[in-house]
Chains A and B, each alone.
Chain A
Amino acid sequence: MEDKLLAIFAEESHEIIDTLERGLLVLENSQDPEEINSVFRAAHTMKGNAGIVGFDSVVNLTHLMEGLLDEMRQGRTKPDAETVGLLLSGVDALKVLVNGYMANESPAPPAEIMSALSARLGEESPSPGQARVAAKANAAPRKDSRYRITMRFMPDIFTTGTDPLQLLMELAELGTIERVVCHVEDLPRFEKLVPDNLYFWWEVWLLSQQSLSTLDNVFIFVKDDNEITIAADDAPGQGPSPEPAPEPAPVASAETAPPAPAPERPPQAVAAKAPAPSPPGKAAAPAPVPAAPAKAPAPAQAFAPSPTIRVDTEKLDKLVNLVGELVIGVARVNQLADVAGGETDHTELSSAVEALDHISRDLQEQVMRVRMIPVEGTFNRFQRVVRDLASELGKKIHLEMSGSETELDKNVIEQIADPLKHLIRNSADHGLEPPQERLAAGKEDTGTIWLRAYQQEGKIIIEVADDGRGIDRNRVLNKAQERGLATPGVTYSDKDVYGFMFQPGFSTAAKVTEVSGRGVGLDVVRQNIEALRGSVDVESALGAGSTFRIKLPLTLAIIDGMTVRVGGEILTLPLLSILESIRPLAQDVKRVEGRGELITVRGEYLPLVRLYEVFDLPTERTDPTQALVVIIESVSKRFGVLVDDILGEQQAVIKSLEQNYQKVEGIAGATILGDGTVSLILDIHGLEKLAFG
């Protein structure tokens, strides 16, 4: 149970920290009071939550941040760069603190930030928002004391949700009620009676060991607005008992307490007698319940039920998997129906199977869609990244985002953040020029980085573009030759040249900067993206900027594949990587010393990979002119893959080999075909490694 609370706290903290960060960045540029409010609220909630789980350092830090934000809210402090900067460093410290606590440490609040915040607030020392000291312990007296308690309430007490009967019952729990007198003399004539009002008042004699303050606490919420007196009393309610005293009851009971003035007026009875379902709705207003909200100022949306629920991703994965199985199963039935239909007339069967096929595919699509979330969250994080980069590099950078509503599989989104961050750093560091250089080049001194997402042909495209200096082809080529990646004298296309940048160990940065050049190059970006079965390419114009374009599949669970045959095996190639397929002529295939086997495609020489050799599959079709060559494009190169035959295109639900067997180089997973046979799905990146080392 405790863990569950902590898990929720951790999850919510991340959301709050995101909100804080995003909100603060917006505030720096605008002074929107609504934004100030929402940032304040975030800090406020953070503090409250930390108090609940007992993370004092977080409480202390957020207390100060909240204070400063409150100043802002009151208009006493402006959200200038300095203030926002200070609060942002507070947010960073929050992350560290929360992580620390979650790792079972007891991190101390950051002294420097705390004192800077205190200084801004004009507080001498950080005053922790400590939990309020709990009510004084009651040293209960041994002996019973007698108390006389009078309770006179406002006539409309019921509409504050307080029921005097409950107070009587609470008193009864604290001791023995000797006597209760209910005064009914204020009850008006029936015509004047307001059913909602309370006309009675009570006198109670209580024998109790409790202290006066404990009894006082019973009335904690009502004593300010109602006449409540509690006094020690020696006489057991003879003297004080007023004249009209109608048969004093020995013990407080329902009969004495609410002898309801109007029989059909049971508000107090609602709370008291019946915790049961319907009463308040029926009792209070004659109007049917749905009519009531119509009077509310915000009627239409006011009663919208909660729009979202949280679901464990594991459950979703299971669902996706099961639906995948369903689709395969239906495809199988479909095939069998076809076979059966060939012999006899089975139109009804095949139309039923067809309908089933439709439904299961729709179902699959919908289930997949559940996993999709907008890239917005990830995108927004980069505002901060760019801001930090700009100050680190001494450049002026504006980040322009579009398409943040574009949806992607949650798994993909989680794994795309790092590569994107890297590309943005790359653009900020290598792409954009320092302000003077930009001015000298006749550009605005502020550089722009664009982050765009959109959907195209069933793929998600994410672009990181800048209006910087562009990629210097010759410098890249020189470097590639230096590193032995390119062969001097060979003519390379732009694409080939840019491809070198994605090779391991390639770095053109003349000097290693704090920002990039951390030994992690674009090759890692490529690997990450290819692991997501995506691809990345570059466009660039010298002096005008570069665009890195990432193409991603909509989902990781399904792959659009081309099924091919090699010997007795059926393999699936990811369609995303396939350019075309050809049947080569004898003169198109050559073996070149040092470069292996090559195939000419419209004058271009591409390496040829014989799949049956790579995977050691026995086949008769070893003559390329009798077989087919599928041209594959990966980030770094294009190459041909020799297969026996192409069987068709098919959506494949990917089953992980790693989970069910073990990782196999060059194989991304397996899928079950319509006829029930298993087909291995090739991993292009891995295949490339196998074939070219």
Chain B
Amino acid sequence: MRRCRYRLLAHTADLLLEARGTDLPGLFSSCVLALFSLLADRRTVRGAKVRTAEVTGDTAEEQLFFLLREALLMFSAHKFLARTARVTIKGKRVTLTVAGETYDSSRHLVDREIKAVTAHAMVVERSPWGYLARFVVDV
């Protein structure tokens, strides 16, 4: 299982995340895995089933925002937890493929409710080591 490169930064009410990637697809998959890591310990999730989502956006921020919305919906509407994530980008179109399984309360501890991913203060930027993103989730 790939380690997900992210950290939590100080935010008074909600959770502000910062994730990194060597390239844009890597950054986006780090962001998706950060989101699922906030929900549950990914080591307890089996990668038995595959789910995909596709979004389009004019800017990297827009692409990331729509991608994270779809990722969160996998859990909030379909009770699906991801263990791994892969992202491909072709022009404006971003495709997310995750491997995981349906939430099982006997094996998965989901003790935080994430209401939504917000566009507030969302940043995608180049950094000396590749790419960096910051985004706020409402909890």
| Real binding pair | no
Which residues of B line the A interface, CB within 8 A? none
